[in-house]
Structure 1
Amino acid sequence: MPLDARPLAIAIMGPTASGKTAFALEVAQRFGGEIVSVDSALVYLGLDIGAAKPTVEERARVPHHLLDVRDPWQAYSAAEFAQEARVALDGIASRGRLPILAGGTGLYFQALLEGLAAMPAADAALRADITAEAQAQGWPALHAALAQVDPAAAARIHATDPQRIQRALEVYRLTGKPISQWQREARGMRLPFRVLKLVLAPADRTVLHERIARRFDLMLEQGFLDEVHRLRALPGMQAVAVPLDLPAVRAVGYRQAWEYLDGQGDAAAFRERAIAATRQLAKRQLTWLRGELDARWFDPAIDRARLDDALALFLP
Protein backbone atom coordinates (compact mmCIF):
# COMPACT_ATOMS: atom_id res chain seq x y z
CA MET A 1 0.00 0.00 0.00
CA PRO A 2 1.49 3.41 -0.97
CA LEU A 3 2.36 5.79 1.83
CA ASP A 4 0.06 8.74 2.42
CA ALA A 5 2.11 11.63 1.06
CA ARG A 6 -0.29 14.40 2.02
CA PRO A 7 1.17 17.14 4.24
CA LEU A 8 0.30 16.97 7.92
CA ALA A 9 -1.84 19.36 9.95
CA ILE A 10 -3.13 19.43 13.51
CA ALA A 11 -6.68 20.52 14.36
CA ILE A 12 -7.13 21.65 17.97
CA MET A 13 -10.86 21.80 18.56
CA GLY A 14 -13.10 22.20 21.56
CA PRO A 15 -15.68 24.34 23.33
CA THR A 16 -14.98 27.91 24.31
CA ALA A 17 -12.69 28.38 27.34
CA SER A 18 -11.27 24.85 27.10
CA GLY A 19 -7.64 25.95 26.67
CA LYS A 20 -7.27 25.65 22.89
CA THR A 21 -5.25 28.85 22.45
CA ALA A 22 -2.63 27.99 25.04
CA PHE A 23 -2.22 24.45 23.77
CA ALA A 24 -2.00 25.57 20.13
CA LEU A 25 0.75 28.03 21.04
CA GLU A 26 2.67 25.32 22.86
CA VAL A 27 2.36 22.83 19.99
CA ALA A 28 3.38 25.47 17.46
CA GLN A 29 6.51 26.35 19.43
CA ARG A 30 7.46 22.71 20.00
CA PHE A 31 7.02 21.55 16.42
CA GLY A 32 7.70 24.63 14.32
CA GLY A 33 4.10 25.45 13.53
CA GLU A 34 1.93 28.35 12.51
CA ILE A 35 -1.63 28.79 13.74
CA VAL A 36 -4.68 29.24 11.53
CA SER A 37 -7.59 30.56 13.60
CA VAL A 38 -10.89 28.74 13.07
CA ASP A 39 -13.07 31.21 14.93
CA SER A 40 -15.88 33.33 13.53
CA ALA A 41 -15.31 36.16 16.04
CA LEU A 42 -11.54 36.44 15.70
CA VAL A 43 -11.82 37.36 12.02
CA TYR A 44 -13.14 40.79 13.06
CA LEU A 45 -11.05 43.86 13.80
CA GLY A 46 -11.78 45.30 17.21
CA LEU A 47 -13.15 42.10 18.74
CA ASP A 48 -10.17 41.48 21.00
CA ILE A 49 -10.95 41.22 24.71
CA GLY A 50 -14.42 39.72 24.41
CA ALA A 51 -13.31 37.22 21.78
CA ALA A 52 -10.18 36.17 23.72
CA LYS A 53 -8.07 37.00 20.68
CA PRO A 54 -4.38 36.00 20.96
CA THR A 55 -2.36 38.87 22.34
CA VAL A 56 0.28 40.86 20.49
CA GLU A 57 2.92 39.00 22.50
CA GLU A 58 1.45 35.61 21.57
CA ARG A 59 1.31 36.57 17.90
CA ALA A 60 4.95 37.65 18.11
CA ARG A 61 5.90 34.20 19.42
CA VAL A 62 3.99 32.26 16.75
CA PRO A 63 2.66 33.42 13.35
CA HIS A 64 -1.14 33.53 13.24
CA HIS A 65 -3.46 33.57 10.24
CA LEU A 66 -7.08 34.67 9.68
CA LEU A 67 -7.18 37.16 12.53
CA ASP A 68 -8.52 40.69 11.85
CA VAL A 69 -9.43 40.05 8.22
CA ARG A 70 -12.76 41.93 8.19
CA ASP A 71 -14.25 45.10 9.67
CA PRO A 72 -16.95 44.38 12.25
CA TRP A 73 -19.75 45.69 10.03
CA GLN A 74 -18.85 43.28 7.23
CA ALA A 75 -20.11 39.76 6.63
CA TYR A 76 -17.70 36.83 6.31
CA SER A 77 -18.96 33.51 5.05
CA ALA A 78 -17.76 30.00 5.76
CA ALA A 79 -16.91 29.68 2.08
CA GLU A 80 -14.68 32.78 2.25
CA PHE A 81 -13.02 31.38 5.34
CA ALA A 82 -12.37 28.01 3.68
CA GLN A 83 -10.84 29.65 0.63
CA GLU A 84 -8.55 31.94 2.64
CA ALA A 85 -7.64 29.21 5.12
CA ARG A 86 -6.58 26.87 2.31
CA VAL A 87 -4.27 29.55 0.96
CA ALA A 88 -2.80 29.99 4.45
CA LEU A 89 -2.34 26.23 4.91
CA ASP A 90 -0.62 25.85 1.55
CA GLY A 91 1.74 28.70 2.43
CA ILE A 92 2.60 27.21 5.81
CA ALA A 93 3.29 23.79 4.33
CA SER A 94 5.40 25.30 1.52
CA ARG A 95 7.63 26.85 4.18
CA GLY A 96 8.17 23.46 5.79
CA ARG A 97 6.14 24.47 8.82
CA LEU A 98 3.31 22.61 10.58
CA PRO A 99 -0.19 24.06 10.09
CA ILE A 100 -2.19 24.12 13.33
CA LEU A 101 -5.91 24.78 13.06
CA ALA A 102 -7.26 26.09 16.35
CA GLY A 103 -10.78 27.20 17.20
CA GLY A 104 -14.32 26.28 17.98
CA THR A 105 -16.44 27.30 14.96
CA GLY A 106 -17.82 24.04 13.65
CA LEU A 107 -19.11 25.45 10.37
CA TYR A 108 -15.65 26.81 9.56
CA PHE A 109 -14.04 23.45 10.29
CA GLN A 110 -16.63 21.71 8.13
CA ALA A 111 -16.15 24.13 5.25
CA LEU A 112 -12.37 23.78 5.36
CA LEU A 113 -11.97 20.06 6.03
CA GLU A 114 -14.88 18.70 4.03
CA GLY A 115 -15.66 21.42 1.50
CA LEU A 116 -18.76 23.43 0.68
CA ALA A 117 -20.93 23.21 -2.39
CA ALA A 118 -20.83 25.99 -4.98
CA MET A 119 -24.13 27.45 -3.82
CA PRO A 120 -25.73 30.44 -5.54
CA ALA A 121 -24.43 33.89 -4.73
CA ALA A 122 -26.38 36.20 -2.46
CA ASP A 123 -29.43 37.86 -3.98
CA ALA A 124 -29.87 41.37 -2.57
CA ALA A 125 -33.56 41.68 -3.46
CA LEU A 126 -34.48 38.31 -1.98
CA ARG A 127 -32.47 39.05 1.17
CA ALA A 128 -34.37 42.32 1.56
CA ASP A 129 -37.66 40.42 1.25
CA ILE A 130 -36.59 37.90 3.90
CA THR A 131 -35.44 40.70 6.21
CA ALA A 132 -38.82 42.41 5.80
CA GLU A 133 -40.57 39.15 6.66
CA ALA A 134 -38.39 38.83 9.77
CA GLN A 135 -39.22 42.37 10.86
CA ALA A 136 -42.92 41.60 10.50
CA GLN A 137 -42.98 38.06 11.92
CA GLY A 138 -39.77 37.62 13.90
CA TRP A 139 -36.81 35.35 13.18
CA PRO A 140 -38.28 32.42 15.16
CA ALA A 141 -41.20 32.37 12.72
CA LEU A 142 -38.81 32.26 9.78
CA HIS A 143 -36.88 29.50 11.54
CA ALA A 144 -40.15 27.56 11.74
CA ALA A 145 -40.70 28.18 8.02
CA LEU A 146 -37.21 26.85 7.34
CA ALA A 147 -38.01 23.72 9.35
CA GLN A 148 -40.89 23.02 6.96
CA VAL A 149 -38.67 22.98 3.86
CA ASP A 150 -35.31 21.94 5.32
CA PRO A 151 -35.64 20.24 8.72
CA ALA A 152 -31.99 19.14 8.69
CA ALA A 153 -30.76 22.73 8.37
CA ALA A 154 -33.26 24.01 10.94
CA ALA A 155 -32.02 21.42 13.43
CA ARG A 156 -28.47 22.81 13.11
CA ILE A 157 -29.36 26.51 13.00
CA HIS A 158 -30.46 28.25 16.18
CA ALA A 159 -33.75 30.16 16.04
CA THR A 160 -31.89 33.36 17.03
CA ASP A 161 -29.28 33.14 14.24
CA PRO A 162 -30.71 35.47 11.56
CA GLN A 163 -27.72 35.31 9.22
CA ARG A 164 -27.85 31.54 8.78
CA ILE A 165 -31.68 31.39 8.72
CA GLN A 166 -31.68 34.03 5.99
CA ARG A 167 -29.04 32.23 3.94
CA ALA A 168 -30.79 28.86 4.20
CA LEU A 169 -34.12 30.34 3.12
CA GLU A 170 -32.42 32.32 0.37
CA VAL A 171 -30.76 29.22 -1.09
CA TYR A 172 -34.00 27.24 -0.98
CA ARG A 173 -36.03 29.99 -2.61
CA LEU A 174 -33.42 30.60 -5.30
CA THR A 175 -32.87 26.96 -6.23
CA GLY A 176 -35.73 24.91 -4.82
CA LYS A 177 -33.10 22.70 -3.19
CA PRO A 178 -32.47 22.72 0.59
CA ILE A 179 -29.13 24.08 1.74
CA SER A 180 -28.55 20.83 3.66
CA GLN A 181 -28.69 18.95 0.34
CA TRP A 182 -26.18 21.36 -1.21
CA GLN A 183 -23.90 20.71 1.74
CA ARG A 184 -24.21 16.92 1.46
CA GLU A 185 -23.27 17.13 -2.20
CA ALA A 186 -20.11 19.02 -1.28
CA ARG A 187 -18.55 15.91 0.27
CA GLY A 188 -15.49 14.87 -1.67
CA MET A 189 -14.02 18.40 -1.76
CA ARG A 190 -11.93 17.55 1.27
CA LEU A 191 -8.79 19.35 2.38
CA PRO A 192 -5.72 17.67 0.83
CA PHE A 193 -3.95 17.39 4.18
CA ARG A 194 -3.73 14.53 6.68
CA VAL A 195 -5.29 16.05 9.78
CA LEU A 196 -5.05 14.87 13.39
CA LYS A 197 -8.17 16.11 15.19
CA LEU A 198 -7.71 16.74 18.91
CA VAL A 199 -10.69 17.83 21.02
CA LEU A 200 -9.91 19.55 24.31
CA ALA A 201 -12.87 19.32 26.69
CA PRO A 202 -13.01 19.00 30.48
CA ALA A 203 -14.73 15.73 31.41
CA ASP A 204 -16.55 17.51 34.24
CA ARG A 205 -18.91 20.09 32.74
CA THR A 206 -18.86 22.14 35.94
CA VAL A 207 -15.14 22.73 35.40
CA LEU A 208 -15.89 24.21 31.98
CA HIS A 209 -18.66 26.38 33.40
CA GLU A 210 -16.31 27.69 36.08
CA ARG A 211 -13.65 28.45 33.46
CA ILE A 212 -16.23 30.35 31.40
CA ALA A 213 -17.30 32.48 34.38
CA ARG A 214 -13.71 33.23 35.45
CA ARG A 215 -12.70 34.15 31.93
CA PHE A 216 -15.65 36.49 31.49
CA ASP A 217 -14.91 38.26 34.78
CA LEU A 218 -11.30 38.68 33.63
CA MET A 219 -12.56 40.17 30.36
CA LEU A 220 -14.59 42.70 32.32
CA GLU A 221 -11.51 43.62 34.36
CA GLN A 222 -9.51 44.04 31.14
CA GLY A 223 -12.00 46.57 29.76
CA PHE A 224 -14.48 44.57 27.69
CA LEU A 225 -17.23 47.16 28.01
CA ASP A 226 -14.84 49.91 26.93
CA GLU A 227 -14.04 47.80 23.88
CA VAL A 228 -17.74 47.55 22.99
CA HIS A 229 -18.11 51.32 23.50
CA ARG A 230 -15.34 51.81 20.92
CA LEU A 231 -17.04 49.43 18.49
CA ARG A 232 -20.34 51.29 18.83
CA ALA A 233 -18.61 54.60 18.07
CA LEU A 234 -17.11 53.45 14.76
CA PRO A 235 -18.69 55.28 11.79
CA GLY A 236 -19.07 52.01 9.92
CA MET A 237 -21.08 50.54 12.79
CA GLN A 238 -23.22 53.63 13.20
CA ALA A 239 -24.14 53.42 9.52
CA VAL A 240 -25.75 50.00 10.05
CA ALA A 241 -29.52 50.15 10.59
CA VAL A 242 -29.72 47.09 12.87
CA PRO A 243 -26.25 46.44 14.31
CA LEU A 244 -27.53 43.58 16.48
CA ASP A 245 -28.06 41.58 13.27
CA LEU A 246 -24.36 41.83 12.36
CA PRO A 247 -22.37 38.59 12.79
CA ALA A 248 -19.70 40.44 14.78
CA VAL A 249 -22.19 41.87 17.25
CA ARG A 250 -23.95 38.51 17.58
CA ALA A 251 -20.70 36.97 18.85
CA VAL A 252 -21.23 35.62 22.34
CA GLY A 253 -20.77 38.32 24.98
CA TYR A 254 -20.87 41.16 22.47
CA ARG A 255 -24.61 40.96 21.92
CA GLN A 256 -25.27 40.99 25.66
CA ALA A 257 -22.85 43.91 26.14
CA TRP A 258 -24.48 45.84 23.29
CA GLU A 259 -27.93 45.34 24.80
CA TYR A 260 -26.66 46.37 28.24
CA LEU A 261 -25.19 49.57 26.81
CA ASP A 262 -28.56 50.16 25.15
CA GLY A 263 -30.03 50.21 28.65
CA GLN A 264 -31.30 46.65 28.99
CA GLY A 265 -30.87 45.51 32.60
CA ASP A 266 -28.22 46.22 35.19
CA ALA A 267 -24.58 45.14 35.35
CA ALA A 268 -25.29 41.96 37.31
CA ALA A 269 -27.99 40.84 34.87
CA PHE A 270 -25.68 41.59 31.94
CA ARG A 271 -22.96 39.40 33.45
CA GLU A 272 -25.38 36.53 34.05
CA ARG A 273 -26.80 36.74 30.52
CA ALA A 274 -23.35 36.77 28.95
CA ILE A 275 -22.12 33.81 30.97
CA ALA A 276 -25.32 31.87 30.24
CA ALA A 277 -24.97 32.59 26.52
CA THR A 278 -21.37 31.41 26.59
CA ARG A 279 -22.40 28.18 28.29
CA GLN A 280 -25.03 27.65 25.61
CA LEU A 281 -22.38 28.21 22.95
CA ALA A 282 -20.16 25.61 24.61
CA LYS A 283 -23.07 23.17 24.65
CA ARG A 284 -23.68 23.65 20.92
CA GLN A 285 -19.98 23.26 20.19
CA LEU A 286 -19.84 20.00 22.14
CA THR A 287 -22.89 18.69 20.30
CA TRP A 288 -21.22 19.38 16.96
CA LEU A 289 -17.91 17.87 18.09
CA ARG A 290 -19.59 14.60 19.04
CA GLY A 291 -20.38 14.18 15.36
CA GLU A 292 -16.67 14.31 14.49
CA LEU A 293 -16.17 10.57 14.76
CA ASP A 294 -12.49 10.66 13.79
CA ALA A 295 -11.60 13.17 16.53
CA ARG A 296 -9.78 12.14 19.69
CA TRP A 297 -11.00 13.62 22.99
CA PHE A 298 -8.82 14.73 25.88
CA ASP A 299 -9.39 16.42 29.21
CA PRO A 300 -6.53 18.96 29.23
CA ALA A 301 -6.26 18.81 33.03
CA ILE A 302 -5.62 15.07 33.29
CA ASP A 303 -4.77 13.73 29.82
CA ARG A 304 -1.51 15.51 29.11
CA ALA A 305 0.49 12.30 28.67
CA ARG A 306 -2.08 10.92 26.22
CA LEU A 307 -2.04 14.20 24.29
CA ASP A 308 1.74 14.03 23.98
CA ASP A 309 1.52 10.41 22.82
CA ALA A 310 -1.04 11.31 20.14
CA LEU A 311 1.24 14.04 18.80
CA ALA A 312 4.32 11.82 18.91
CA LEU A 313 2.58 9.04 16.97
CA PHE A 314 1.30 11.44 14.30
CA LEU A 315 4.30 13.67 13.73
CA PRO A 316 7.57 12.36 12.21
Structure 2
Amino acid sequence: EFQQYAAAHGNEALHQKLAQLDPEAAAAIHPNNLVRVVRALEVCTLTGKTFTACKAESRIIPSPYHSLQIGLMYEDRQVLYDRIDRRVDEMVRAGMVEEAHAVYQNEALRTAYHAIGYKELIPYFENTMPLGECLDKIKQESRRYAKRQLTWFRKNPDIQWIILSKFDKKQEILEKCKKTIANSDLLCYNIS
Protein backbone atom coordinates (compact mmCIF):
# COMPACT_ATOMS: atom_id res chain seq x y z
CA GLU A 1 0.00 0.00 0.00
CA PHE A 2 2.76 2.45 0.92
CA GLN A 3 4.82 1.58 -2.13
CA GLN A 4 1.78 2.06 -4.35
CA TYR A 5 1.16 5.43 -2.71
CA ALA A 6 4.76 6.46 -3.40
CA ALA A 7 4.47 5.29 -7.02
CA ALA A 8 1.28 7.32 -7.47
CA HIS A 9 2.19 10.44 -5.48
CA GLY A 10 5.98 10.40 -5.18
CA ASN A 11 8.51 9.62 -2.47
CA GLU A 12 8.17 13.09 -0.93
CA ALA A 13 4.43 12.63 -0.41
CA LEU A 14 4.99 9.30 1.33
CA HIS A 15 7.75 10.85 3.43
CA GLN A 16 5.27 13.55 4.50
CA LYS A 17 2.98 10.81 5.85
CA LEU A 18 5.88 9.59 7.96
CA ALA A 19 6.64 13.14 9.10
CA GLN A 20 3.05 13.45 10.36
CA LEU A 21 3.26 10.18 12.33
CA ASP A 22 6.89 10.34 13.48
CA PRO A 23 8.75 13.60 12.80
CA GLU A 24 11.94 12.29 14.43
CA ALA A 25 12.11 9.24 12.16
CA ALA A 26 11.29 11.40 9.14
CA ALA A 27 14.17 13.71 9.99
CA ALA A 28 16.56 10.74 10.13
CA ILE A 29 15.37 8.99 6.95
CA HIS A 30 15.91 10.49 3.50
CA PRO A 31 12.71 10.74 1.41
CA ASN A 32 14.30 8.71 -1.38
CA ASN A 33 15.15 5.83 0.96
CA LEU A 34 11.81 4.26 0.17
CA VAL A 35 12.58 0.95 1.91
CA ARG A 36 13.24 2.63 5.25
CA VAL A 37 10.33 5.08 4.90
CA VAL A 38 7.95 2.19 4.18
CA ARG A 39 9.37 0.16 7.08
CA ALA A 40 8.92 3.06 9.50
CA LEU A 41 5.34 3.60 8.33
CA GLU A 42 4.61 -0.13 8.67
CA VAL A 43 5.85 -0.11 12.26
CA CYS A 44 3.79 2.99 13.09
CA THR A 45 0.67 1.51 11.52
CA LEU A 46 0.97 -2.00 12.96
CA THR A 47 2.08 -1.09 16.49
CA GLY A 48 0.27 2.20 17.04
CA LYS A 49 3.60 3.59 18.27
CA THR A 50 6.16 5.72 16.51
CA PHE A 51 9.04 4.00 14.81
CA THR A 52 11.36 6.06 17.03
CA ALA A 53 9.64 4.79 20.19
CA CYS A 54 9.81 1.17 19.02
CA LYS A 55 13.54 1.51 18.32
CA ALA A 56 14.12 3.06 21.74
CA GLU A 57 12.17 0.29 23.47
CA SER A 58 14.17 -2.41 21.73
CA ARG A 59 17.38 -0.89 23.11
CA ILE A 60 16.11 -0.86 26.70
CA ILE A 61 15.77 -4.63 26.87
CA PRO A 62 19.22 -6.16 27.30
CA SER A 63 20.04 -9.14 25.16
CA PRO A 64 19.84 -12.46 26.99
CA TYR A 65 22.74 -13.68 24.89
CA HIS A 66 26.44 -13.28 25.50
CA SER A 67 28.34 -13.40 22.27
CA LEU A 68 31.85 -13.17 21.01
CA GLN A 69 32.06 -11.02 17.92
CA ILE A 70 35.03 -11.40 15.62
CA GLY A 71 35.66 -8.89 12.86
CA LEU A 72 38.02 -9.42 9.97
CA MET A 73 39.67 -6.42 8.36
CA TYR A 74 42.69 -5.33 6.39
CA GLU A 75 45.10 -2.78 7.79
CA ASP A 76 45.38 -1.20 4.34
CA ARG A 77 41.90 -0.42 3.03
CA GLN A 78 43.20 -0.50 -0.55
CA VAL A 79 43.70 -4.27 -0.20
CA LEU A 80 39.99 -4.61 0.59
CA TYR A 81 39.07 -2.35 -2.33
CA ASP A 82 41.22 -4.37 -4.73
CA ARG A 83 39.54 -7.57 -3.52
CA ILE A 84 36.11 -6.00 -4.07
CA ASP A 85 37.07 -5.04 -7.63
CA ARG A 86 38.28 -8.59 -8.35
CA ARG A 87 35.10 -10.03 -6.85
CA VAL A 88 32.93 -7.89 -9.14
CA ASP A 89 34.98 -9.09 -12.12
CA GLU A 90 34.44 -12.70 -11.00
CA MET A 91 30.71 -12.11 -10.62
CA VAL A 92 30.53 -10.70 -14.14
CA ARG A 93 32.32 -13.77 -15.50
CA ALA A 94 29.86 -15.96 -13.59
CA GLY A 95 26.83 -14.32 -15.26
CA MET A 96 25.88 -11.35 -13.11
CA VAL A 97 24.99 -9.16 -16.11
CA GLU A 98 22.66 -11.81 -17.50
CA GLU A 99 21.07 -12.34 -14.09
CA ALA A 100 20.56 -8.60 -13.64
CA HIS A 101 19.03 -8.39 -17.12
CA ALA A 102 16.53 -11.13 -16.21
CA VAL A 103 15.61 -9.13 -13.08
CA TYR A 104 15.32 -5.98 -15.19
CA GLN A 105 12.85 -7.71 -17.51
CA ASN A 106 10.73 -9.17 -14.69
CA GLU A 107 8.24 -6.71 -13.17
CA ALA A 108 7.74 -8.94 -10.12
CA LEU A 109 11.43 -8.57 -9.18
CA ARG A 110 11.65 -4.79 -9.46
CA THR A 111 12.51 -4.37 -5.78
CA ALA A 112 15.84 -6.09 -6.53
CA TYR A 113 16.77 -2.97 -8.51
CA HIS A 114 17.81 -1.36 -5.25
CA ALA A 115 20.61 -3.87 -4.74
CA ILE A 116 24.15 -2.93 -5.65
CA GLY A 117 24.97 -4.59 -8.94
CA TYR A 118 21.50 -4.30 -10.40
CA LYS A 119 20.64 -0.62 -10.38
CA GLU A 120 24.04 0.32 -11.81
CA LEU A 121 23.40 -1.90 -14.85
CA ILE A 122 20.08 -0.29 -15.80
CA PRO A 123 21.76 2.39 -17.95
CA TYR A 124 23.49 -0.41 -19.88
CA PHE A 125 20.18 -2.22 -20.43
CA GLU A 126 18.65 1.05 -21.61
CA ASN A 127 21.60 1.73 -23.95
CA THR A 128 22.53 5.00 -22.22
CA MET A 129 25.90 3.90 -20.80
CA PRO A 130 28.55 1.40 -21.87
CA LEU A 131 28.94 -1.78 -19.83
CA GLY A 132 32.46 -0.87 -18.65
CA GLU A 133 31.26 2.36 -17.04
CA CYS A 134 28.40 0.52 -15.33
CA LEU A 135 30.80 -2.09 -13.96
CA ASP A 136 33.09 0.67 -12.67
CA LYS A 137 30.04 2.15 -10.92
CA ILE A 138 29.26 -1.24 -9.31
CA LYS A 139 32.82 -1.44 -8.00
CA GLN A 140 32.64 2.12 -6.69
CA GLU A 141 29.30 1.55 -4.94
CA SER A 142 30.53 -1.75 -3.47
CA ARG A 143 33.60 -0.01 -2.05
CA ARG A 144 31.41 2.73 -0.57
CA TYR A 145 29.16 0.11 1.00
CA ALA A 146 32.17 -1.68 2.50
CA LYS A 147 33.40 1.62 3.93
CA ARG A 148 29.99 2.29 5.52
CA GLN A 149 29.99 -1.22 6.99
CA LEU A 150 33.44 -0.71 8.50
CA THR A 151 32.37 2.63 9.96
CA TRP A 152 29.30 0.98 11.48
CA PHE A 153 31.13 -2.00 12.95
CA ARG A 154 34.02 0.05 14.33
CA LYS A 155 31.55 1.76 16.65
CA ASN A 156 31.02 -1.56 18.40
CA PRO A 157 33.58 -1.88 21.22
CA ASP A 158 32.79 -5.57 21.69
CA ILE A 159 34.18 -6.69 18.35
CA GLN A 160 37.53 -8.50 18.52
CA TRP A 161 39.31 -7.42 15.34
CA ILE A 162 41.66 -9.69 13.42
CA ILE A 163 43.90 -7.88 10.95
CA LEU A 164 44.07 -10.15 7.92
CA SER A 165 47.30 -8.69 6.54
CA LYS A 166 49.16 -10.11 9.57
CA PHE A 167 48.39 -13.66 8.45
CA ASP A 168 49.41 -15.34 5.21
CA LYS A 169 46.95 -18.19 4.86
CA LYS A 170 43.36 -19.07 5.67
CA GLN A 171 44.56 -21.69 8.14
CA GLU A 172 46.50 -19.05 10.12
CA ILE A 173 43.40 -16.83 10.21
CA LEU A 174 41.33 -19.77 11.42
CA GLU A 175 43.88 -20.51 14.16
CA LYS A 176 43.81 -16.87 15.28
CA CYS A 177 40.00 -17.02 15.45
CA LYS A 178 40.17 -20.23 17.49
CA LYS A 179 42.64 -18.62 19.92
CA THR A 180 40.39 -15.59 20.26
CA ILE A 181 37.45 -17.86 21.06
CA ALA A 182 39.49 -19.96 23.49
CA ASN A 183 40.70 -16.84 25.32
CA SER A 184 37.22 -15.34 25.66
CA ASP A 185 35.49 -15.45 29.00
CA LEU A 186 32.28 -16.85 27.53
CA LEU A 187 31.15 -20.29 28.50
CA CYS A 188 30.92 -22.71 25.61
CA TYR A 189 28.29 -25.41 25.50
CA ASN A 190 28.45 -28.52 23.37
CA ILE A 191 25.00 -28.94 21.83
CA SER A 192 24.52 -32.42 20.43
User: Which residue in 1 is equivalent to 2:170?
Assistant: none
Greater helix proportion: 2
Residue 104 of structure 2 contacts residue 113 of structure 2 at CA under 8 Å; is this kept in 1?
no
Measured after TM superposition, the shift of residue 250 of structure 1 is 1.3
Residues 209-288 of structure 1 correspond to what in structure 2 (within 5 A)? 209-233=81-105, 237-239=106-108, 243=110, 246=111, 248-288=112-152
> Residues of 2 paired with 1:138 and 1:300: CA distance?
46
Give 1:169 deviation, angstroms: 4.2
Q: What's the CA shift for 1:138?
A: 8.3
Normalising by structure 1, what TM-score? 0.47
What's the TM-score, normalizing by structure 2? 0.73
Cα distance change of structure 1 residues 168 and 201 upon mapping to structure 2, 3 Å threshold: same
Aligned position for 2:177: 307
What's the secondary structure of 2:114's corresponding residue?
coil
**Structure-2 residue corresponding to 1:207:** 79
- Highest relative contact order (Cα 8 Å, sep 6+), 1 or 2? 1
Change (3 A) 1:274 1:290: same
Give deviations 1:101-121, integer Å, cap 9, x for gaps.
xxxxxxxxxxxxxxxxxxxxx
- Report if aligned partners of 2:43, 2:51 keep a CA contact under 8 Å in 1: yes
| Unaligned residue ranges in structure 2 (runs of 5+) | 168-172
Distance 1:218 1:295 in 2: 30
Contact kept in structure 2, 1:130 and 1:166, CA below 8 Å: no
Counterpart in the other structure of 1:134: 10
55, 64, 67: which one pairs with 1:195? 67
Measure the CA separation in 2 of the matches of 1:258 and 1:223.
16
Which structure is larger by alpha-carbon Rg, 1 or 2? 2
Distance change >3 Å, CA 201–CA 133, structure 1 → 2: farther
- List gaps (5 residues or longer) in structure 1: 1-123
Native 8 Å contact 1:149 1:178 kept in 2: no
Classify the secondary structure of the residue corresponding to 2:67: strand
Q: Match for 2:24 among 150, 169, 189? A: 150
More strand by share: 1
